[in-house]
Structure 1
Amino acid sequence: MTADDPLVEPAVPDDFTEHLVERYGSPLYVYDLDRVRRAHQDLSSALPESSRIYYSLKANPHPALVAELRTLGARAEVTSRGELASALRAGCPAGELLYSGPGKTPGELVEAVHHGIRHFSAESFGDLARIGAAADEQGARAECVLRINAAGAPGGAGLRMTGSASQFGFDLDGLFAEPERLDVPGTRVVGLHFFPLTNARDEEGLRAEIVQSIRTAAELRDKLGIPLQLVDLGGGFAAPYAVPGERPTYPGLRAAVTDALDESLPDWRDGAPVIAFESGRYLVGDSGRLMCTVTDVKDSRGTRYAVLDSGINHLGGLSGLGRLLPMSARPLRTTPGEEPRRTTLAGPLCTPADLLGRNVDLAGVRPGAVLEFPNVGAYGLSASLLGFLGHPAPAEVVVRGERVLSASRLSLHRQEIDEVPGARNAKDTDQAKELT
């Protein structure tokens, strides 16, 4: 079966899926932990032996998915108070977490250090100074990897994250010009962090980017004397999104990256440095499906619309930014011989931007029909416009095979807060209570 094959089998039978919809309602997210395990195995097999894997909670912070990956040996990479709360709730030891992101505030850094976070990715001299201040204030020391905004490898492979003017990472010329600014009380620089691109299906391009990062790490070690205890080579591993398909497997990646490490960082085999990678979409993308129901079908000036009980408030938050990704769904039940019709899938929101698919060829689309969007375990609900119009969040059901492990629903609610005098970035006491 190829990645472009539209006949990829669902994780669980349709009758079980229908049972879940009947029991928990529509719309409904279903996450299959067996698929998470397979994805982790596939990624581990594609990487050099003994590589550390970080799971990026930005893809999906559901504690059950985080906990499953933790049992498989993955560590968590978090970028906010909310993701930190999810990681701790899932049982991740605070001392193993990596706290990253370009917008870390003094208040959240104080909170992170308070809860035992000691490993940070620093994005700039200013970020490093704020990390140091938060650690020093509490008598702690933060071990930091420097995220590097280096020139990318030739060619294109996925969405570029660095290699040009960017909010992400240190520019190399800035590091070479002012290396003394890395000596910050409360911190110790212990390595480097790269993340040049994301969602790269092309193995050759991905391999070139990782090899280039390895060579840059060796150059910074030699020219600036940066100690290398940890080199995080980032991710970029692809997965289909809201369309049928399978993850790529990158069969030649392990050998090529291993050779590059042996050449440029030969002590990596003894753990000096530890080699790490991070992934979100690859690890959980194909574990999730969104089930929703057709509420109305109408024809308008030559276009057929199916109006669903779910939209960009539950899936595809990038649509709200005018970036509609190609999506496709399938009805769980169709009548034999029924011909597909070109249909635009619209959600329930009062905006023309609420579209989950334009001109999709589907059969069996009628009021009451249940549709399934596959491969939405990553950047699904938590990346959506959940607060817009105030529709309830869909239930999220976690299964292993045909066994339900948990069912829950996110809830937005307004709460009273005490005024914090003169502190724009002061610690949010309510969130702090939730973390403890």
Structure 2
Amino acid sequence: MTGYAELAKRFGTPSYVYDLDRVAAARRDLLAALPEQVELFYAAKANPHPELLRELRGGEGRRCRAEISSTGELAAVLGAGFPATDILYTGPGKTEGELTEALTAGVRLFSVESLGDLRNIGAVASRLGVVADCLLRVNSASASATSSIRMTGLPSQFGFDSETLPELRDRLLDVPGTEVAGAHFFPLSNAKDEDSLIGEFRHTIEVAARLQAELDVPFRFVDIGGGFAAPYAVTGNRPRYGALRAALEDSLDEHFPGWRGGEVRIACESGRYLAGDSGTLLVGVVNLKESRGRRFVILDGGINTFGGMSGLGRILPVSVRPYDEGAPYEQIASLVGPLCTPGDVLGRDVELPALAPGDTIAIPNAGAYGPTASLLMFLGRPAPTEIVVRGEELVSVSRIRHVRDYEPAQEL
């Protein structure tokens, strides 16, 4: 790949560099870990860059579908070539306008978070003269994995509490414009190891089968979620899941015996695993400072550039990869950005090589939850440049720009 130093010099910092070869490798690895019949959704929120979306959709053979949660993401995935029939629309706050746009575009598969959400979808679908297939998102009362980031089992705006679904059955099946097509689960994120991931999937499949029996509704589609792990803004490699395929096949054979023949379609979803290790964030050193015994490296990009998780304190500290792979780490300091807020911290107590103003550092595994998950408009600083490469080939260079549109005066 073109050297980071050369790219930083040519296009400036802060900059993201995305390598499409690594995106393709992640898609290939994850699809290889899943049974042939299992479909894979890419969560566009992880990185909706057009080049990454096109790469993840793929060409011939098994391709990713798209999971979205807004009309902005809808436009992005349609623009990248995903057909509307390959899209799953999710989220707890779907508005009438959003639903109208999605259904008009041809989207027919929706994840439903509540009875009210289902009725909203049905009202718009009925007005447009179509029927929406709806997956009941399930907030299961129990779980398998005891570690990782739990996404179920607690009071939440996401999904139906599993214990309430049987009593809601008749009302769920009686919403004009909709058909209950199956269930959607997302019980955890970033499983600590393959055993934890397999255990959670087995539990989810068992719950899905039990729910199908309790509701007495034949499921045509079951999305069992994700939880695939990947390093985020730290050094490391994506795990390979060598035992997952056989474990899923065994569990699905037991609980959904017709799945191999298409009696019920099974899907998984992933965001960070597919996009994360494709990206490297290049940030420039603006200043060095010491305060009361602590060192600070002040950068030209902070949580306005990489704030999706760093701003929530969930990835501190990040790690830094020096250009010279043999360069020793010579100091420990906090990496802070240029914003006028003490919350603009990318990492505390980070091991760093010797640095001086004008140097550039590289943060690895930063391909997910970057610019579009950051405080891009805060203080009016420009968005980072996004550089896309494929091996040695420079594919594109772009930057998100914000433009204020005024309503015509006569409409005020």
**Shorter-normalised TM-score: what interval?**
over 0.9
Q: Which residue of structure 1 lines up, in the alignment, with residue 260 of structure 2?
A: 269
- Superposed CA deviations along residues 55-97 of structure 1, whole A, max 9, x for unmatched, are 0001011111111111151010100111111101101111221
Cα deviation, 1:204-246, whole Å, max 9, x if unaligned, reads 1211111111111111222212221111111011111111001
DSSP-derived class of the 1:266 partner: coil
Partner of 1:78: 68
**1:386 pairs with 376, 384, 390, which one?**
376
CA contact (8 A) 2:139 2:159 kept: yes
Partner residue of 1:66? Answer: 53
Aligned equivalents of 2:409, 2:223: Cα separation in 1: 40
In the TM superposition, what whole-angstrom CA distance separates every residue of 1:338-382 from its partner, at most 9, and x where no partner exists? 661112111100111111111112112111111000101111111
Deviates more, 1:188-197 or 1:249-258: 249-258
User: Aligned AA for 1:288?
Assistant: G
Give the match for residue 294 of structure 2: 303
Cross-structure match for 1:428: none
Q: 1:290 deviation in Å? A: 0.6
- Matched to 1:88, the amino acid is L
Separation (CA, whole Å) in 2 of partners of 1:200 and 1:27: 31
Tell me the equivalent position of 1:326: 317
Aligned residue runs from structure 1 range 136-147, under 5 A: 136-147=126-137
Residue 97 in 1 paired to residue 97 in 2? no
Report the Cα distance in structure 2 between the residues aligned to 1:94 and 1:142, rounded to whole angstroms: 13
Say whether the 8 Å CA contact 2:68–2:89 is kept in structure 1.
yes
Residue 220 of structure 2, aligned match among 229, 239, 256: 229
Structure 2 unaligned residues grouped into runs of 5+: none
Query: Which of 107, 124, 127 matches 2:114?
Result: 124
Contact 1:201 1:248 in 2 (8 A): no
Alpha-carbon distance in 2 for matches of 1:25, 1:36: 24
Alignment of 1:3-402 (within 5 A): 12=1, 16-72=3-59, 73-182=63-172, 183-321=174-312, 323=314, 325-333=316-324, 340-402=330-392
- The answer to whether the 8 Å contact 2:302/2:336 transfers is yes
**Cα distance between partner residues in 1 of 2:259 and 2:329:** 58
Change (3 A) 1:18 1:214: same
Secondary structure at 2:225 match in 1: coil
Return the alpha-carbon distance in structure 2 between the equivalents of residues 184 and 417 of structure 1.
37
> Matched residue pairs, number?
407
In structure 2, the CA distance between the partners of 1:40 and 1:157, relative to structure 1 (3 Å rule), is farther
Give 1:331 shift. Answer: 2.8
Q: Helix, strand or coil for the counterpart of 1:317?
A: coil
Whole-angstrom CA distance in 1 between matches of 2:219 and 2:328: 61
SS in 2 for 1:64: helix
Contact 2:198–2:244 (Cα < 8 Å) also in 1: yes
Contact 1:176 1:224 in 2 (8 A): yes
Q: How far apart, CA to CA, are the structure 2 residues paired with 1:356 and 1:53?
A: 32
Q: Structure 1 regions of 5+ residues with no counterpart?
A: 1-11, 422-436
Displacement of 1:320: 3.4
Residue type matched to 1:27 in 2?
A: P
CA-CA distance at 1:317 after TM superposition: 3.1
Q: When the two structures are superposed, what TM-score results if normalisation uses the length of structure 1?
A: 0.90
**Deviation at residue 419 of structure 1 after TM alignment:** 9.8
TM-score (norm 2): 0.95
> How many angstroms apart in 2 are the aligned matches of 1:339 and 1:141?
60
Tell me the distance in 2 between the aligned counterparts of 1:137 and 1:107.
12
Report the Cα distance in structure 1 between the residues aligned to 2:279 and 2:407, rounded to whole angstroms: 35
1:293–1:371 CA contact under 8 A, matched in 2: yes
Q: Secondary structure at the match of 2:405?
A: coil
Q: Look up the SS of the partner of 1:114 in the other structure.
A: helix
Change (3 A) 1:418 1:194: farther
After superposition, the Cα gap between the structure-2 partners of 1:30 and 1:349, relative to the gap in structure 1 and judged at 3 Å, is: same
TM-aligned CA distance change 1:46 to 1:157, over 3 Å: farther
* Aligned mates of 1:231, 1:74 — CA distance in 2: 16
Label 1:339 to 1:45 Cα distance change in 2 as closer, same or farther (>3 A).
Answer: closer
Q: Deviations over 1:289-318 (max 9, x none)?
A: 110110111222111111110101000333
Find the aligned partners of 1:133 and 1:300 in 2 and give their Cα distance.
Answer: 60
Which sits farther off after the overlay, 159-168 or 278-287?
159-168
* Greater shift in the superposed pair: 25-34 or 320-329: 320-329
CA apart distance, 1:24? 1.5
* Equivalent residues of 1:316, 1:324 under 8 A apart: no
Q: Which moved more, 1:244-253 or 1:154-163?
A: 154-163
2:404 aligns to what?
414
**Contact 1:189 1:227 survives alignment (8 Å):** no
Q: Give the Å deviation of 1:113.
A: 0.8
Counterparts of 2:159 and 2:191, CA distance in 1: 20
Cα 1:116–1:154 shift into 2, 3 Å: closer
- Provide closer, same or farther for how the CA distance between residues 256 and 244 of structure 1 changes in structure 2, counting only shifts above 3 A: same
Aligned-residue offset at 1:198: 0.7
Contact 2:329 2:351 in 1 (8 A): no
Aligned-pair identity in percent equals 54
Aligned residues of 2:311 and 2:345 also touching (Cα < 8 A): no
